[in-house]
Structure 1
Amino acid sequence: MGVPRSDESLRPMLATAGVPPVGPGWAVEFKWDGVRALVVVRGGAVRLVSRNGNDVTGGYPELVAALPTDRDLVLDGEIVALDAAGRPDFGLLQHRMHVRSPGAALLAEVPVELYLFDVLEIEGEDLTGLPYDTRRARLAELGVEAWRRVSAPQAFTDITPAQGLDVARAHRLEGIVAKRRTARYEPGRRSGAWVKTALFHPQEVVLGGWTAGRGNRGSTLGALLMGAYDEHGRLRYLGNVGSGFSEATLRRLLDRLRPLARPDSPFDDEVPRELRRGVTWVEPEVVGEVEYRTLTHDRRLRHTVWRGLRPDRDPGEIVLADVVEAARAPDPELVRYLREIAPHLLPYVDGHPLVAPTGPVAVGSEAALVGLAETGVVELRFAPSRPGEHPRWVVVELEAGAAGLLRTALDHLGVVGMPVVTGHGLQVHVPVGEGTTAAEAGRWAERLCAAVGSMAPGARPMAATAALVPFSPTRDGAVAVPVTWAELEAPELPRWTLDTAPVRVAEAGDPLRPLLGLDQRLPPL
């Protein structure tokens, strides 16, 4: 029998952010959108301890009443509030997280449940050194399913983590956590034995101030200024969040932040001047959570949406290294898309190098595409032809209004080409046959654009290093999809995303594919 652990050493094991791991030996659990909690049952009393060691027992009396006290236990799980469809809803849970002693009305309006996924101690026996599979078996032996408001959601060992993520996506869950089945439990440590893959990017931030609201939010706030601490303990500015607030949330935030007002900025780096106007600075004592799309090169969160306050977290725990590490993890939606679209995209690459920040990268397989995504590459763009080979395409970028003129010019020249909608504009790909050098193809494209541009400005030739590969994602969330000329006659350009582009190809095919490898001679211009 192991030695019982002291409460002071109890901290939950944490997962690293990443794409779903491959290979055998992984169990898959769903990632629940709630608040992490350790359950400590000692001497007939129940305590709920937050991730940062705070006692939150008083906030969830229905869970305390539901847990048995006939034996000493230490359990790991997540407190969740469920929406009408039975899915954990962090927004609902917000109504409970800030209340120390909820009344009967709130308990009835926002009930909570406890999802358990690990056991650290039973009757004084330390189980943290045992393999994951063994701990899960010991958890099952406790008879959790008979406890009211408490359950132990299934861990899946017969599917891959990638398949688990597909299931999470289909059921609109937060994501998955893949856990190595032979791994021990490492209290307080972020371990590679647990890999979390979220279907969005949540991030905890320290609040450093707010800007005044405008319009119908003139009496409240407009945006919150966010930060995180670097390795030297300096608070670094991460940007602003101005969306995702309800009226009740705005009032709650002002009530929480007003008493913390201070005369100067709490950030140790400079907030841009245009973002300092009308700011009320606050002491950095409050932690919140946002959802964001990207982290810029200068470490700013972009496309942020407010999710709620995190009273279970201490400001000093919010460190910049964790923000950067999470942002480096490739978007699982992007990885899923590249795997699905690879059969349609790879023929256009055919081993030719693509442009990456580190230089040309040869891509010839689905694994290589996913590898690019894992290095942070989103847009896939053509590099010059392989040494000794002729260029395969001339690519012209133009506005949608000039598409008809360009098509007329190509028809007049007896040249075929096909448009590719990029989400923010249009590129026309014209196949080039053997015997044409890169310089000749470039001059031909310039003359074509000059002729079309004289009637409809906006056409420009694109160097091979600038043209999007057909079916490439773009940084604004769209996908470059080949279309027919007839589709350009619609009032607005169509737009496809990572979700809809594969459906489009499955239903309509690829009109550019028949031109791939066409031995077309460019006539004189």
Structure 2
Amino acid sequence: MDRADMFDLAHLTGARKAPMPGRLPPMLATLTEKPFNDPDWYFEPKLDGYRLIASVNSGQVRLQSRNFHDYTVQFPAVAAEMATQPVDMALFDGEIVALDEQGRPCFQCLQHHIKKNPGNSGGVMLKYYVFDLLYLNGYDLTEVPQSSRVKCLDKTIKTGSTVKAVRRFEGDGQEIFSASVKSGFEGIIAKNKHATYRPGKRSADWLKIKAVLTDEFVIIGYTPGQGTRDGSFGALVLAQYDLNGHLVYSGNVGTGFDEALLNDLMIQLEELTTKKAPSNLQLPLPSAITWVKPELVAEIKFAERTQGGLLRAPVFLRLREDKEAPEVKTPVVEAKL
């Protein structure tokens, strides 16, 4: 008997009979500023990897990114282990993470694996951490409360050397946040136990709380380099989309680059050069900008946002090749007290 047969989906609140969707955009978390304590919420460590929806259908597996790119070939060990799950049909939500030699999450290791070693681990330790169950054996579970979905997940998922279940905690969110940061995680994700799953939506029922402020920005141009950067760029010009779909200037970032990264970025920027600035661009901008098509997404660390929405003390961290420019929106920050 499959583990999935151990409970009655037909009488599970919110579950409905439906065909399994071919693809499902993941639910997204809203940024909030401080950890909090609340018995109605779960707390999970915030993972630093690629979000992947795993579909299992009669032993056939597909690993799909939030933008519906197929990553099954890139992670054959994950696909093989997911194929052994005790289900007929299911959709799992999770994150693929690469670990370094010390067992710590390493996003750069993951990107290097995807670029250089597709289909081969190349010495990188890969783990697929599963944290939600969205569909199971003929039933859509997205309208099932979070607390019931994770119970179904716990009864269903079979963990192994590559597939793992995310640990969730209850109670003292502040203590869990501190412990997660000390263990090398970026922060925590808080999830309302009573919330349903909202595909493709950024919801206040899921909150991300980070130890260091970071966010994604669209690269819309660059300023000319001088001195040791002559022939390259001096700073990247950053923006985010507002609720009306217009790009809003967020500031410039000129630190966080080594020589290899400068050269790699410059090659990509030159391929995207355009004579036109983005339409409806908000706020005054510095002069001498070479505009580029708004396609590259950068993750930036910063001290704070000014009242005008500009970044203070920004530092470039990395390109986010798993995210597309239209996803990069000015955040609605909600403080959960």
1:282 aligned partner:
292
SS, match of residue 318 in structure 2: strand
Superposed counterparts of 1:95-494, under 5 Å? 95-97=112-114, 99=115, 102=118, 104=120, 107-146=121-160, 148-157=161-170, 159-266=171-278, 268-269=280-281, 272=284, 275-277=286-288, 279-320=289-330, 322=331, 325-326=332-333, 329=335
Q: CA deviation at 1:34?
A: 1.5
Amino acid at match of 1:135: R
SS, match of residue 73 in structure 1: strand
Q: CA deviation at 1:297?
A: 1.9
Residues in 2 aligned to 1:197 and 1:95: alpha-carbon distance in whole angstroms: 27
1:79-109 deviations in Å (ceiling 9; x for gaps): 1111333221223323245x397264xx314
Structure 1 or 2, whichever has the larger Rg, is 1
1:42 aligned partner:
57
Q: Compared with structure 1, are the counterparts of its residues 270 and 250 closer, same or farther at alpha carbon in structure 2 (3 Å cutoff)?
A: same
Q: CA deviation at 1:309?
A: 1.8
1:378 aligned partner:
none
Residues in 2 aligned to 1:314 and 1:43: alpha-carbon distance in whole angstroms: 31
1:451 aligned partner:
none
SS, match of residue 238 in structure 1: strand
Q: Compared with structure 1, are the counterparts of its residues 124 and 20 closer, same or farther at alpha carbon in structure 2 (3 Å cutoff)?
A: same
Residues in 2 aligned to 1:194 and 1:84: alpha-carbon distance in whole angstroms: 31
Amino acid at match of 1:310: R
Residues in 2 aligned to 1:101 and 1:89: alpha-carbon distance in whole angstroms: 15
2:90 aligned partner:
73
Q: CA deviation at 1:6?
A: 4.8
Residues in 2 aligned to 1:272 and 1:195: alpha-carbon distance in whole angstroms: 32
Q: CA deviation at 1:173?
A: 1.3
Amino acid at match of 1:37: L
Tell me if 1:63 matches 2:57: no
1:359-379 deviations in Å (ceiling 9; x for gaps): xxxxxxxxxxxx8xxxxxxxx
Residues in 2 aligned to 1:211 and 1:125: alpha-carbon distance in whole angstroms: 53
Which fold has the larger relative contact order, with Cα–Cα distance below 8 Å and residues 6 or more apart in sequence?
Answer: 2
SS, match of residue 262 in structure 1: coil
**CA RMSD after TM alignment:** 2.5
Alignment check: 8 A CA contact 2:221 2:237 kept: yes
Alignment check: 8 A CA contact 2:218 2:295 kept: yes
Alignment check: 8 A CA contact 1:227 1:267 kept: no
Amino acid at match of 2:302: Y
Alignment check: 8 A CA contact 2:75 2:119 kept: no
1:155-181 deviations in Å (ceiling 9; x for gaps): 112x31111111112223111112122
Larger strand proportion, structure 1 or 2?
A: 2
Alignment check: 8 A CA contact 1:45 1:69 kept: no
Alignment check: 8 A CA contact 2:35 2:174 kept: yes
Alignment check: 8 A CA contact 2:238 2:250 kept: yes
Q: CA deviation at 1:197?
A: 0.9
Superposition TM-score, scaled by structure 2 size: 0.85
Q: CA deviation at 1:251?
A: 2.9
Residues in 1 aligned to 2:258 and 2:64: alpha-carbon distance in whole angstroms: 29
Q: CA deviation at 1:235?
A: 1.6
Q: Compared with structure 1, are the counterparts of its residues 116 and 4 closer, same or farther at alpha carbon in structure 2 (3 Å cutoff)?
A: same
1:52-78 deviations in Å (ceiling 9; x for gaps): 333233333332233225632200111
Q: Name stretches of at least 5 consecutive residues in structure 1 with no aligned partner.
A: 331-370, 372-525
Amino acid at match of 2:165: A
Residues in 1 aligned to 2:235 and 2:59: alpha-carbon distance in whole angstroms: 46
1:165-201 deviations in Å (ceiling 9; x for gaps): 1111222311111212232222222222222211112
Residues in 2 aligned to 1:10 and 1:100: alpha-carbon distance in whole angstroms: 28
Q: Compared with structure 1, are the counterparts of its residues 183 and 225 closer, same or farther at alpha carbon in structure 2 (3 Å cutoff)?
A: same
Q: CA deviation at 1:124?
A: 2.3
Q: CA deviation at 1:218?
A: 3.2
1:306-328 deviations in Å (ceiling 9; x for gaps): 222222222122222x2xx24x6
SS, match of residue 169 in structure 1: helix
Alignment check: 8 A CA contact 1:236 1:267 kept: no
Amino acid at match of 1:87: R
Residues in 1 aligned to 2:327 and 2:159: alpha-carbon distance in whole angstroms: 34
Q: Which of 12, 37, 42 matches 1:22?
A: 37
Alignment check: 8 A CA contact 1:94 1:309 kept: no
Residues in 2 aligned to 1:58 and 1:255: alpha-carbon distance in whole angstroms: 27
Tell me if 1:3 matches 2:12: no
Larger helix proportion, structure 1 or 2?
A: 1
Q: Which of 82, 88, 101 matches 1:84?
A: 101
Amino acid at match of 1:102: P
1:199-233 deviations in Å (ceiling 9; x for gaps): 11221111111233344433433321111122332
Alignment check: 8 A CA contact 1:56 1:100 kept: no
Amino acid at match of 1:92: C
Alignment check: 8 A CA contact 1:75 1:119 kept: yes
Q: How many residues align?
A: 320
Residues in 1 aligned to 2:239 and 2:74: alpha-carbon distance in whole angstroms: 28
